[in-house]
Amino acid sequence: MKNLIKSAVALLSLLVAFTSCNNSDQSGNKSGALAGNVAEKVYVAPGEHDEFYAFISGGFSGQLSVYGLPSGRLFKVIPVFSQDAEKAYGYNEETKPMLNTSHGFVPWDDSHHPDISQTNGVIDGRWVFINGNNTPRIAKIDLSTFETTEIIEVPNSAGNHSSSFVTENTEYVVAGTRFSVPIPQKDMPIKDYKGNFKGALSFISVDPEHGHMDIKFQLIMPGFDYDLSHPGRGKSHGWFFFSTYNTEEASTLMEVNASQNDKDFIAAVNWKKIEDYVNNGGGKMMPTKYAHNVYDESTHSATSTMKTEVLTVNPLDVPGAVYLMPTPKSPHGCDVDPSGEYIVGSGKLSANLTVHSFTKMLAAIENQSFAGDAYGIPIIDFEASLAGVVEQPGLGPLHTEFDGKGNAYTTFFISSEVVKWKLGTWEVIDRQPCFYSVGHLMIPGGNSQKPFGKYVVAMNKITKDRYLPTGPEVTQSAQLYDISGDKMELLLDFPTVGEPHYAAGCPADLIKPRSKKLFKLEENNHPYATKSEADTKVVRDGKTVHIYMTTIRSHFSPDNIEGIQVGDKVYFHITNLEQDYDVPHGVSIIGANTSELLIMPGQTETFLWEPKEVGVWPFYCTDFCSALHQEMQGYVRVSPTNSSTPLRWSLGEDIE
Amino acid sequence: MKTTIKILSTLLIVFLLSCGGKEKKKKESFSYDKKTTTEATTTTKAEKVPASKTIDLSNKGIGPITSLALNAEINKEMAAKGEDVFKKMCTACHRADKKFIGPAPKDILKRRTPEWVMNMILNPDEMTQKDPLARALLIEFNGSPMANQNLSEEDARAVLEYFRTL
C-alpha cells in the first residue's frame, strides 16, 4: 500500500517535472540526455532482467560490484580484498585465511582492474580476476557463486597496477608492478634507485579446469613504473603489452621528474617465448615469501599456504622476447584492438593518441630497426612500429575500448569526454562530454576478440553536483552511453561503490544459467558440518567449546545451551539445513567481537564468541527468514569459570 | 503487497486463536479481560475440525503429481531409503509420530491422498498459497512454512513409502 502511494507520488512529481520542463525555457540544457525515448532505453520493467552484467571495481573499497546494464542497478558487492561484515567475509573462521599475506592478515586493499576469463579470445563467463594494488595480490571470483575463491600474493611487486588482464585462453592472468623496488628487498638509500631498482612483471598461470593460479615466472624488467597492460589477441596472441612511465627512474617529485622524457615506452613481451624458455629449465629460482589462499566450495573453507620461492627471468637471457616501443608522454592505457593488430597508447600528457601496428613491430624487429636500447633491451625506432596518430582528439587520453565494428572509444580525463574514432583512418567521429573527469571506460567484451558494441560505461573520477549532496563526500559515479548508432548518446548516470577504476562486462546469458542457487547438503564436507538435527551437539575440549548447530525455518537446534563458562572460546559452527533458493539464515550473539554469519542453504559457517560475563545471553537470526523469523532465537547460559554447571543443550524441551 | 496481507491475516488469526485458547487460564497477575473481543471468533472456530485432523481423501493437491497408485504391499527397500531421506531432510521440523514444528506424518494416508502428500513435499510454496488444506495447515502451525528441501520425485516417493510403515 505504502509503495503504491509512493509510486503514485513519484509518478505525479515526474509529471509535474515534465510539465514544468515544457513550460519553462530550458533551451540552454545541452546534456544530450533529453531525447524523448532515453528513459525507455534504460528501463528494465519490474521482474525483468538486464541484458548485461557489469563487474565494476570497487576501488579503495577493495571489492567488486555487480551491476545490470542498461538499468545501472546494483545487485551485489562481492567482497574480495576487504572484510565485509554483512557477509562475514574475512570475519568468519572459514574466510579469514583469504586475507592472509606475507605481511600477516591484511583486511583491506585497493581493487582496480577486473577482467573476465576467455576461451579462444572470447569471453567465457567463468571467472573474474581483479588486482589488489596496495599489498600486491590477484583474486579470482567464481561466477557460478559470485564469491572470491582464490587470492594469490605477488612477491617482488609494489603497487600492483598493470594487472589483472588475461590472455586469450586464460593461459595467464598478468600482474605488473607500478613501483619498481629493490629485488630482493633490502635496506639501501632511496637515491640509489636508478639502475638498481627493478620492475617485476608476473605471469600467473591459470588451471584451465579449476582456475587455480600459480606464478609461472616473473620477468625482472628495468626500474620503470609499469602502468597498464593488455594481451595480444588473434595475430598477436602470445605477446603482452605494458605501458611504462617514469623511464627517467626518478624517485621524488614525480610530477616533474617523471615527465622529463618526450617518450616513454610500451614494452612488448613475447610470453610464449619465455614460457618455452622456462619450460626448458630456464630462469632462476629466487627465495621469497608470498601467500596463496584457496577457498574450497565443498568444505566452505579457505586455506592459506605460504610459498617460499618464485621463478625469475632476466629479459636479456631470452633474446627476442622483449622490446620497447617509444610512446609519447607517460602512456596510461595500452589497449589492443579486437583483431590484435593495433596497440593504442594513451600518452596522458600528450595531445595525440599513438597507435602501434603489430605487423610493423614484427617487421621492425626483423629488420633490426632499433633506435637504441635500455639496459640491453632493444628500443624499436618510433616511426618503424607506428601505425598512425589520432591528431588532437582531446586532452589527457587515458583508456581505449573497441566496439568490434572498426571503432575505438577513448576517454579524455582533462577535457572530460569520450571520443569515438575510426581505426585505420584515425579520424574522430563523435565526442560526448562526461560528468566529470572520466577515467576508464568499458564496453562489454571490450577486451576480447568479440566486443558487444551496444553500450559503453564511462567511470568518472569527479561527481560534484550530479546527485543530491551527501556532505563533503559524494557518491562515485558512472555513466552509460548508447553506442549502437553513429553518434553516442548519454542515457544514464548511476552511483557506484568506491572509486570505479575499471570494469568488465558480458551478456547476462553467459552467466545466468550457471549461477548456483544453493549448496547441496550432501556435498557439504565442512569438518564441523551438522547435516541433521539428530547430530547437533556441544563438545568441550578444555577451554574450547564447539557448538554444532543447525538452522531451518525458523529455529536453531539446539536453542538452549548451558554449561558455557567465562573465559571459554566458543565456536558456533552453524549449518543451514535449508535446501531451497534464497533462504539464508543469519546469526550472532550479544557481545561477539566479530560480524554476524550469513549462511546460504547447505552451507556451514563458524564464528568465535568469547563470553566475558556470567549471565544468560541471547542469540538470534539476523536475516528475515519466515513469518516466525522473530521467534528464531535462543539462549546460552554462561556460568563462572570452573563452575559445575553441566554442559547441556536442547531444543523444544527444558534442560534437566 | 500480497505478502503483507498474508502476514497480517495470519497474525490476526493467530492472535485470535491464542486469545481463545487462553481465556480460561486466568492468572492472578494478569487482569486484562479478553472475553468480549474474542467470543465471536472462538465459537465459529470451535466448530471447525483443525486442518491437521481433517480427512480429505479426494483432494490431490497442486503440483507435479497428478495420479499415483500405491501397491497393496509396502516396498520395504523403498521405505528404508525413505526413512533415511526423512532423517536427513525432514527431522528439523517433523517427528514421525508426534507434532513438532509441523504435524506428524503418522497415519497421513488415512487423512490425505498420496498425491497430496507428494505435492506437499515437492511443491510446498504453491501448495500453501493455493491449496485450502495446506493453507489452513500453515495457519494452524503458526505460519511456520513447509520448507522446500528440493527432494527429487524419487526421494519424495520413498519418503511416502516410509510414511506407510509408521
Tell me the mean pLDDT in the region A305-331.
97
Gap between the Cα atoms of A86 and A600, Å rounded: 13
Is residue A654's pLDDT more than 90?
A: no
Looking at A117-214, list the stretches that DSSP marks H as alpha helix, in order from N- to C-terminal side.
none
Cβ contact A579–B150 (<8 Å):
yes
Gap between the Cα atoms of A52 and B88, Å rounded: 39
**Chain A neighbors of B93, CB-CB under 8 A:** 552-553
CA distance B92 to chain A (A): 6
Which pLDDT does position B30 carry in this prediction? 72
Over residues A98-154, the pLDDT tens digits come to 999 999 999 999 999 999 999 999 999 999 999 999 999 999 999 999 999 999 999
Over residues A391-439, the pLDDT tens digits come to 999 999 999 999 999 999 999 999 999 999 999 999 999 999 999 999 9
Which pLDDT does position A15 carry in this prediction? 45
Gap between the Cα atoms of A51 and A170, Å rounded: 24
Contact between A379 and A417 (Cβ < 8 Å): no
E strand spans, A52-136 = 52-57, 64-69, 74-78, 100-101, 104-105, 115-119, 122-132
Interface-testing mutation among A5, A520, A524, A532, with chain B (most B C-beta atoms within 10 A): A532
E strand spans, A381-416 = 386-390, 397-402, 407-412
Gap between the Cα atoms of A608 and A613, Å rounded: 16
Cβ contact B143–A518 (<8 Å):
no
Indicate the domain borders of chain B: 2-47, 76-164
Would you give the DSSP letter of residue B110? G
**Would you call B5 an interface residue with chain A, using a CB distance cutoff of 8 Å?**
no
Gap between the Cα atoms of A80 and A142, Å rounded: 11
CA distance B90 to chain A (A): 9
**Would you call B99 an interface residue with chain A, using a CB distance cutoff of 8 Å?**
no
Residue A435, C-alpha cell as written in the block: 560528468
CA distance A574 to chain B (A): 14
Which CATH number does B76-164 carry? 1.10.760.10
CA torsion sign, B67 to B71 to B72 to B76? negative
For all residues of chain A together, what is the average pLDDT? Answer: 94
Over residues A567-613, the pLDDT tens digits come to 999 999 999 999 999 999 999 999 999 999 999 999 999 999 999 99
For residue A580, give the nearest of B10, B144, B147 by CB distance. Answer: B147
**Would you call A533 an interface residue with chain B, using a CB distance cutoff of 8 Å?**
yes
Would you give the DSSP letter of residue A70? T
Over residues A463-507, the pLDDT tens digits come to 999 999 999 999 999 999 999 999 999 999 999 999 999 999 999
Q: Kindly write down the DSSP assignment for every residue of A134-152, as one continuous string.
A: TTTEEEEEETTTTEEEEEE
One-letter amino acid for residue A27 of the chain: S
Which pLDDT does position B6 carry in this prediction? 61
Over residues A39-54, the pLDDT tens digits come to 999 999 999 999 999 9
Over residues A370-394, the pLDDT tens digits come to 999 999 999 999 999 999 999 999 9
**Would you call A621 an interface residue with chain B, using a CB distance cutoff of 8 Å?**
no
**Would you call B96 an interface residue with chain A, using a CB distance cutoff of 8 Å?**
no
**Chain A neighbors of B145, CB-CB under 8 A:** 553, 626-627
Report the 10 Å Cβ neighbour count for B36. 7
CA torsion sign, A137 to A140 to A141 to A147? negative
Over residues B107-149, the pLDDT tens digits come to 999 999 999 999 999 999 999 999 999 999 999 998 888 999 9
Name residues whose C-beta falls within 8 Å of residue A561's C-beta, 6 or more positions apart in sequence. Answer: A538, A547, A634, A635, A636, A637, A648, A649
Tell me the mean pLDDT in the region A309-313.
98
CA distance B135 to chain A (A): 14
Is residue B36's pLDDT more than 60?
A: no
Tell me the mean pLDDT in the region A272-281.
98
Rg (CA), chain B: 18
Closest-CA residue to A530 (of A585, A572, A586) = A572
**Chain A neighbors of B148, CB-CB under 8 A:** 579-580
**Chain A neighbors of B142, CB-CB under 8 A:** 627-628
Name the band, by pLDDT with cuts 50, 70 and 90, for residue A28: very low
Q: Kindly write down the DSSP assignment for every residue of A477-546, as one continuous string.
A: EEEEEE-SSSS-EEEEEEEESS----EEEEEGGGTGGG------GGG---TT---SGGG-EEEEETTEEE
**Would you call B88 an interface residue with chain A, using a CB distance cutoff of 8 Å?**
yes
Q: Kindly write down the DSSP assignment for every residue of A239-288, as one continuous string.
A: EEEEEEE-TT---S-HHHHTT-SSEEEEEEEEHHHHHHHHHTT-SEEEEE
More confident residue, A454 or A29: A454
CA distance A648 to chain B (A): 19
Which pLDDT does position A18 carry in this prediction? 45
Query: Domains plus CATH for chain A?
Result: 52-514 (2.130.10.10), 522-650 (2.60.40.420)
Which pLDDT does position B116 carry in this prediction? 97
Cβ contact B149–A579 (<8 Å):
yes
Closest-CA residue to A545 (of A652, A649, A655) = A649
| DSSP helix/strand/coil, B10 | helix
CA distance B7 to chain A (A): 7
Closest-CA residue to B101 (of A561, A27, A261, A550) = A550
Which pLDDT does position A14 carry in this prediction? 45
Residue A324, C-alpha cell as written in the block: 620497447
**Would you call B13 an interface residue with chain A, using a CB distance cutoff of 8 Å?**
no
Gap between the Cα atoms of A456 and A442, Å rounded: 5
User: Helix B153-164 vs helix B114-122: angle between axes, to the nearest 10 degrees?
Assistant: 130
Tell me the mean pLDDT in the region A318-330.
96
